[in-house]
Structure 1
Amino acid sequence: MLNLRQSLLCAVAAMATPMPAFAQDATDDGDTGHGEIIVTAQKRSQSIQQVPIAISALSSELLDERGISTAAGLQFSVPSTQIGNLLGQTSITIRGVGLNQGAPGVAIHVDGVYQPRPSMGDLLQIDLERVEVLRGPQGTLYGRNANGGAVNFITKAPTNEYEGYLLASYANYDDARVQGMVNVPFNDWLKARVVLDWNRRGDGFVKNVIPGGQDLDRGKTFSGRVRFDMELAPNFDLSLSTTFLDGSGPTQYFVLHNQPTALIVSVNPALAAATYSFKPLETSANDPVNTDRRLSMTAATATWSLGDVTLKSISGYTTLRDDSLADDDGINVSIFPVRRFYDSKSFSQELNAALSLDAVDLVTGLYYLKDSYQHILDYDLLEGVAPLSPAGLPPGSDLVFNVRDYDTSVKAAFADVTVRPVANLSLIAGVRYSEERQKQVQENSISIGNFATILTCPLTTNEAKFTSTTPRFGARYEFSSNVNAYATFSKGYKAGGYNLNACDNRFNPEKLTAYEGGLKTRLLDRTLTLNLSAFYYDYTDLQISQVIGLARFINNAAAATIKGAELEADWQPDDHWSINANATYLDARYDSFSNTDGLDPAAGVQVLDGHRLNEAPKFSGNLGVAYRTAASSHGRFTLRTDVSYRSKYYLREFNGPLDTQNAFALINAGLIWDSPEERFRVRLFVNNLTNKAYIARMDSSDNFGARFISWNTPRQYGIELRSNF
């Protein structure tokens, strides 16, 4: 075994560049007295109360107790957060910032590895140590596309104990899950952790009203992770992990939200006799819907501790392949059967150094990202119905939007320092410089019936370069060990690019300047955590997504202003009760923006000044209450209820009646029994108790004269069994 250890050490030392990874310590939650959580939001371990950022952290215990197993579940535990999924793309919006069908506006990291595709944020969440949600631009330490904030998923590290668990659950909609974990400490320097997860929903959430039609939003996944942690030399640690996911089924979908306009029906009279369903969680789609998805991520984190200095290398290689069929008209007439194909490969490398002294904390580093992406959008109109356009196309036409290659390379250097010149006062300064180069190769074509293919976009190569400098300045003052306040100025940046389905069509970067102040307190003998924050954003060149014709375009809105306030509280008055709550007031409006609504072209160019940003409710809040009985020979029971509220908000910038999601509340409840020795656990649960239907995401197509939506999860109830060993 000693020879193996020496061989591994020599192999690592021989690397010209440490293996892929990005910086995030997978430390355990530090319980310092009343459930205080240790986070690594600033790439060093700190109490969450000492971080001068609006941040929420959910430990593995809280995730299990609340039954949160997807990214969408986080939005009902974190202030100012909206999360929805449409056609497999998970969109996270924080304080009205981040919504986009292109690159994510909220940066997502798994064990420090940046995830460049929006769908990746919902695919790797098994066996988590915690989730950290950072609100506001994180342009200094996180950089790329973190102008809305950052969500960090930290997986569980191997422990020094032989242990494991087996979990099984079953809920209505024939929803079954089996998950297992084994942790093996081979010796004092090598530990391993393996987790596997199988999930299948046999009955679709979205029912098809067409006899024999295909129900949607169902499918199965099989995923897993293997992680090795090694101490290769004194103070030198290496963590290696590989994660995979295979999924299939009609999971990526949308349904029709309104009947096509009279103009569109006049172009294609077949729509007049079509079957429509606008009831929640129903469809009348007749064309096949299915997605085959393959994802893998390999990561390595090497850490060398040298007293007051810690050197770290974080590297990651992630691949995602999606091959899907969809019914893009959502009715029983085959107007838009489509195939979408995505193939993404990305490699990231971060090297950073952290210095920690009595009066100074410093993190500085270099970052590199290489991302390659291919995309095909193919409307294969085989059933003889012309697509909707003023000219129309004959039966058998084929429209192909082909992005043969989209390469992005990012180089960045950053530094962030906190200085304590006098007792209780901390001064904060940081800056990041980023350079991004993009190269897109595309070719679009139309095959009209049996005639020759016409190149609507001949083989074209587009190149762009974007640079950004994003600073952060601020101060933090400790009034006592339980009360501190902070104020910061920061900037965020999201790169521009080229639209995937248009020829040589470029959009600009978006920029955000943020002013934020906050107060963090521990009260009532440290049983109550009460945090407040207020913020003001100057938001320019917002990237707005629209479907024009059959293709998606990203355009830039001129400017918007966002202001608001948040309150987050957690109270544990005794060993039995636990109460958590948060509330947000958000005023997010366009200052200067004019646009044409493809669903109402007769209105011409509309001035949208004063309209509210998408998915930015004025008021939102969450309240959770849990009661735990005393431990006894019969075990312990925990009863938990969570209530979430959202005021009315809009899903398109035009703020029309059909663009509106009215105010709603959701209720989740659960009852947990833990055996006396905590070897067994039984959890009964019901989510969305009142079966409230609300729109998770919305899109629209001027070529169809209609809006398309995805729905939230309906009421689900079931049982979960867990055995620890």
Structure 2
Amino acid sequence: MLGAKIRWRTACSGLSLVFVMMTVSGVQAQVGNPTENLPQQVPANSDMTLPSAGSKDASAIADIVVTAQRRSENLQRVPIAITAVSGDQLMSAGVTSTQQLNIAVPGLNLRSSIGAFQPSIRGIGTTSSVVENPVALYVDGVYLPQQRDGTRELPDVEQLTVLKGPQGTLFGRNATGGVIQITTRRPSHTFGVEAKAEYDNYETFRGSAYLTGGLSQDLAASLSVQYADQGEGYGRNLTTGNDTFKLRHAFSARGKLLWEPGSDTSVILIGDYMERADLTNSFQPYPGTTSRSPGIGPLRNRYDTYSSTDPRSAYRSGGASVTIEHDIGFADITSITAYRQGKTRYNFETSAAPVPYQTAGTSNGPNELFTQELQLSSQAGSALTWTVGLFYFYYINELFPITRTFAGYLAPNPTSNARTDSFGSEKTESVAAFGQATYEFLPATRLTLGLRYSYERRDFEGRVDTIRNNGSTASALYNGRLEVDDPTWRVNVDHDFNDHIMGYLSWNRGNKSGGFNIQQPQNPVYQPERLDAFELGLKTQFFNRRLRLNAAAFYYDYSNLQVIQFLNAIQTIVNGPKAELYGLDVDLSARVTNRLTLSGGFALLSAKFIDYSGAVFSTPLPTGGSQARPGDASGNRLPQAQNVTATLSMNYELPTRIGNFNFNLTNNYNGDYYAESDNFLRQPAYVMTNLGVTWISPDETYSVGAFVRNLWDERIATQLSTSPTIYQAAWGGAPRTAGITARIKM
């Protein structure tokens, strides 16, 4: 039944493109033929035919430059599975924030927990909001370990790059799943200004402005600001009467100063600030289950809740970085220095009941980051290219969880906990030395060897104060230290079969740090996990570079996994399981005609535990809620691992006398996945379809458009989890929305 529905929706999306073609043909007939200074039309009988491989065509797909190996290179020359998307492509596909990146990137799954950004790539990720993610996030070359720094709007993005698979040699710590690189615009000496605005049917306003220009012969600057808020939530709290799933506000600003004292030196100073406040995960019972708490009735709207309190999350952070690049003749030297501070607050009701059972929250959660990286990279063009570097990392992450329990109406007990105040602080220091070299040992055949050696020390302090119903108190102190020194490496052989086809075979070792659970200080230390990845890839271009097709098959040996378990509503992080993952990634771009372009791809994945006898399973109770029990999860799928994902974006441009019309249809298929290791809570498969049409003035100064997102109004979970009183479901993915956009660019 579900498969038939998905096939029908995919077919309808394809038919809608045909309808667009018919519509724009009618528009062209009404407005007349383009003038001769507009692009030449493609004959009707060749509209859907790619040119032959030997033909000459100026409309080839443009080269994409990436920094996946810490140097600027053509995407097709890099032996790594990469998806690269420009800022304009993200905007056309309806991607306005990092929470929607999976629309543009096959194999990327996203989860959000009380404001945290939790991506997983090829099944590698985490469902804990207090640990560093195994998918590393870099913004303008700076590593951001705090998950809430990843939940951000995307107003001034130049390029998004997703590197799939372990990238530990050059990117270091916690890049076992891959790397997400966000690169924002570089200041220009040419004056430019741009402003964008968007408004939808939930009274969501998004606005941004960008200004750049030269200050002197060797100085240029840019300023980007963004603001968003939402007037109407997606649902209602039936107990408090307030909105649920509502963006209260999001603000960010980024300033850049570029100094180029000579042709061989550049210095970029960046300062940024961001803050965000949401009415966040409002829970309701997972379909087919009941709550143990009284007063929970059926909920027709997936965004509604009976929670006794309005779940809220807020985060703000700011920082600065300096990037210095200097050409010393035989090599380029780069220094990246960064400092950042952040603070988080949140609270929510775990039972989703109108009478409070257990309210969890935090009064304060500060974090502080300092990083310093030095790189020395050889010049390109010789048989041997190399990069060496040093990296220093200092990070303090603290949390003050407060849990209030009001369970007297369920099981009166004077010795039960009424309130638990916790404190957890983890200080991390890490140093690393790394190097990677590529040598062309045979014509068109290269060998790459990379090695990184890291030392890391984590110091932990924690305290738990408990107040019982009878007024008695208890306190406990916790402390610990974890020291780890681990190598990671890369071995790769790649070969150019001709000018347009390159193949590679690689072995990458990745490690993810261990640490302490600052949310639950009483939990024991968890150890590092290890991943060995073997990948066979092919990068190709056909039809005079009008079709780009890249594919990678991979196998992962994943050991000592850090698994999140919920036992009596308490999150624990444990080691021990072993997993096996294998799959296939395919990315494509095609310029079908001078007007029609296609981009997308698909990912196939098998990700299963092969040895996990110490798992925690939850069993539904007849009275509602769940009971924890031991179980064997061997053979179960990894949390957040989707067997199939696929994306296809179609963009059609129509030049007319009154300007250009741009039509975009983006289809994103997301296979089902499980939220926890027992494979009980499940997000069904769904199809995300976004439609957009934009008119651009003849001089490209002005544009206005309209859009529909989540056309089929799919039910998308942002969090599924277990507690003793309820199987929690937060269907926080945005419903079908429609709106208008406007843009001015000079």
Give the TM-score taking structure 2 as reference length: 0.87
Deviations 1:600-619 (A, max 9, x none): 68784322111111122222
Look up the SS of the partner of 2:99 in the other structure: helix
The alignment status of 1:495 with 2:524, answered yes or no, reads: no
- What one-letter code is carried by the residue in structure 1 that aligns with 2:649? G
The alignment status of 1:358 with 2:377, answered yes or no, reads: no
Q: Match for residue 188 of structure 2?
A: 159
Distance in structure 1 (CA, Å) of the matches to 2:59 and 2:387: 25
Deviates more, 1:483-492 or 1:414-423: 414-423
1:691 to 692, 703, 713: 713
2:93–2:104: 8 Å Cα contact kept in structure 1? no
Distance in structure 2 (CA, Å) of the matches to 1:321 and 1:629: 47
1:88: Cα distance to partner?
Answer: 1.0
Q: Match for residue 719 of structure 1?
A: 740
Look up the SS of the partner of 1:218 in the other structure: strand
1:54–1:518: 8 Å Cα contact kept in structure 2? yes
Q: Match for residue 651 of structure 2?
A: 626
Q: Match for residue 555 of structure 2?
A: 536
Q: Match for residue 70 of structure 1?
A: 97
Q: Match for residue 533 of structure 2?
A: 514
Distance in structure 2 (CA, Å) of the matches to 1:242 and 1:592: 47
Distance change (3 Å), C-alpha of 1:65 and 1:246: same
Q: Match for residue 112 of structure 2?
A: 85
1:348 to 371, 386, 389: 371
1:599–1:705: 8 Å Cα contact kept in structure 2? no
- What one-letter code is carried by the residue in structure 1 that aligns with 2:617? D
1:557: Cα distance to partner?
Answer: 3.9
1:228: Cα distance to partner?
Answer: 0.4
Q: Specify every segment of 5 or more residues in structure 1 that has no aligned partner in the other structure, as ranges.
A: 1-30, 266-270
Q: Match for residue 418 of structure 1?
A: 438
Deviates more, 1:576-585 or 1:143-152: 576-585
2:106–2:600: 8 Å Cα contact kept in structure 1? no
Q: Match for residue 639 of structure 1?
A: 663
Distance change (3 Å), C-alpha of 1:579 and 1:214: closer
Deviations 1:652-685 (A, max 9, x none): 21123xx122222111110011100000011211
Q: Match for residue 346 of structure 2?
A: 324
Q: Match for residue 679 of structure 2?
A: 655
1:33: Cα distance to partner?
Answer: 4.9
The alignment status of 1:586 with 2:615, answered yes or no, reads: no
Distance in structure 2 (CA, Å) of the matches to 1:488 and 1:387: 59
Q: Match for residue 682 of structure 1?
A: 704
1:549: Cα distance to partner?
Answer: 2.8
Q: Match for residue 27 of structure 1?
A: none
1:182: Cα distance to partner?
Answer: 1.1
- What one-letter code is carried by the residue in structure 2 that aligns with 1:723? I
Distance in structure 2 (CA, Å) of the matches to 1:599 and 1:87: 25
1:125: Cα distance to partner?
Answer: 3.0
Q: Match for residue 20 of structure 1?
A: none
1:300 to 286, 298, 322: 322
Q: Match for residue 61 of structure 2?
A: 34
Deviates more, 1:419-428 or 1:211-220: 211-220
Q: Match for residue 229 of structure 1?
A: 258
Q: Match for residue 24 of structure 1?
A: none
Q: Match for residue 704 of structure 1?
A: 725
Distance change (3 Å), C-alpha of 1:567 and 1:396: closer
- What one-letter code is carried by the residue in structure 1 that aligns with 2:477? L
1:93: Cα distance to partner?
Answer: 0.6
- What one-letter code is carried by the residue in structure 1 that aligns with 2:733? N
Distance change (3 Å), C-alpha of 1:69 and 1:159: same
1:199 to 201, 208, 228: 228
Alignment of 1:371-382 (within 5 A): 371-381=395-405
Alignment of 1:385-464 (within 5 A): 385-386=407-408, 392=413, 397-403=418-424, 405-449=425-469, 451-455=471-475, 458-464=476-482
- What one-letter code is carried by the residue in structure 2 that aligns with 1:487? L
- What is the CA RMSD across the aligned residues, in angstroms? 2.1
Distance in structure 2 (CA, Å) of the matches to 1:387 and 1:198: 44
- What one-letter code is carried by the residue in structure 2 that aligns with 1:419? Y
1:79: Cα distance to partner?
Answer: 2.0
1:132 to 161, 172, 177: 161
Distance change (3 Å), C-alpha of 1:419 and 1:681: same
Distance in structure 2 (CA, Å) of the matches to 1:707 and 1:391: 24
2:235–2:243: 8 Å Cα contact kept in structure 1? no
Distance in structure 2 (CA, Å) of the matches to 1:189 and 1:586: 50
Q: Match for residue 46 of structure 1?
A: 73
Distance in structure 2 (CA, Å) of the matches to 1:343 and 1:205: 30
Deviations 1:121-166 (A, max 9, x none): 1226330110110000001001111000000001100012111011
2:495 to 474, 477, 500: 477
Distance in structure 2 (CA, Å) of the matches to 1:697 and 1:527: 41
Look up the SS of the partner of 1:629 in the other structure: strand
1:259–1:276: 8 Å Cα contact kept in structure 2? no
Q: Match for residue 642 of structure 2?
A: 617
Distance in structure 2 (CA, Å) of the matches to 1:693 and 1:41: 35
Distance in structure 1 (CA, Å) of the matches to 2:110 and 2:483: 30
Distance in structure 1 (CA, Å) of the matches to 2:413 and 2:233: 34
2:541–2:549: 8 Å Cα contact kept in structure 1? yes
Deviates more, 1:93-102 or 1:409-418: 93-102
1:276–1:331: 8 Å Cα contact kept in structure 2? no
Percent identical across equivalent pairs?
Answer: 26
Distance change (3 Å), C-alpha of 1:387 and 1:413: farther
Distance in structure 2 (CA, Å) of the matches to 1:393 and 1:81: 48
1:547: Cα distance to partner?
Answer: 2.5
Distance in structure 1 (CA, Å) of the matches to 2:413 and 2:172: 45
Look up the SS of the partner of 2:239 in the other structure: coil
2:547–2:588: 8 Å Cα contact kept in structure 1? yes
Look up the SS of the partner of 1:283 in the other structure: coil
Deviations 1:555-607 (A, max 9, x none): 12420000011111110022200011311111111100021224468784322
Distance change (3 Å), C-alpha of 1:667 and 1:386: same
Distance in structure 2 (CA, Å) of the matches to 1:122 and 1:247: 9
Q: Match for residue 61 of structure 1?
A: 88
Higher relative contact order (CA 8 A, sep 6+): 2
1:446: Cα distance to partner?
Answer: 0.8
Distance change (3 Å), C-alpha of 1:344 and 1:451: same
- What one-letter code is carried by the residue in structure 2 that aligns with 1:136? G
Deviations 1:387-428 (A, max 9, x none): 97x78567992111211x210011111001111122211111
Deviates more, 1:177-186 or 1:290-299: 290-299
Distance change (3 Å), C-alpha of 1:219 and 1:471: same
Distance in structure 1 (CA, Å) of the matches to 2:627 and 2:194: 61
1:217–1:253: 8 Å Cα contact kept in structure 2? no
Look up the SS of the partner of 1:497 in the other structure: coil
The number of aligned residues is 678
Look up the SS of the partner of 2:582 in the other structure: strand
Alignment of 1:231-250 (within 5 A): 231-250=260-279
Distance change (3 Å), C-alpha of 1:131 and 1:603: closer
Distance change (3 Å), C-alpha of 1:710 and 1:273: closer
Distance in structure 2 (CA, Å) of the matches to 1:42 and 1:358: 16
Q: Match for residue 122 of structure 2?
A: 95
Distance in structure 2 (CA, Å) of the matches to 1:100 and 1:481: 43
Distance in structure 1 (CA, Å) of the matches to 2:698 and 2:382: 45
Q: Match for residue 117 of structure 1?
A: 146
Look up the SS of the partner of 2:244 in the other structure: coil
1:351–1:365: 8 Å Cα contact kept in structure 2? yes
2:584 to 565, 572, 586: 565
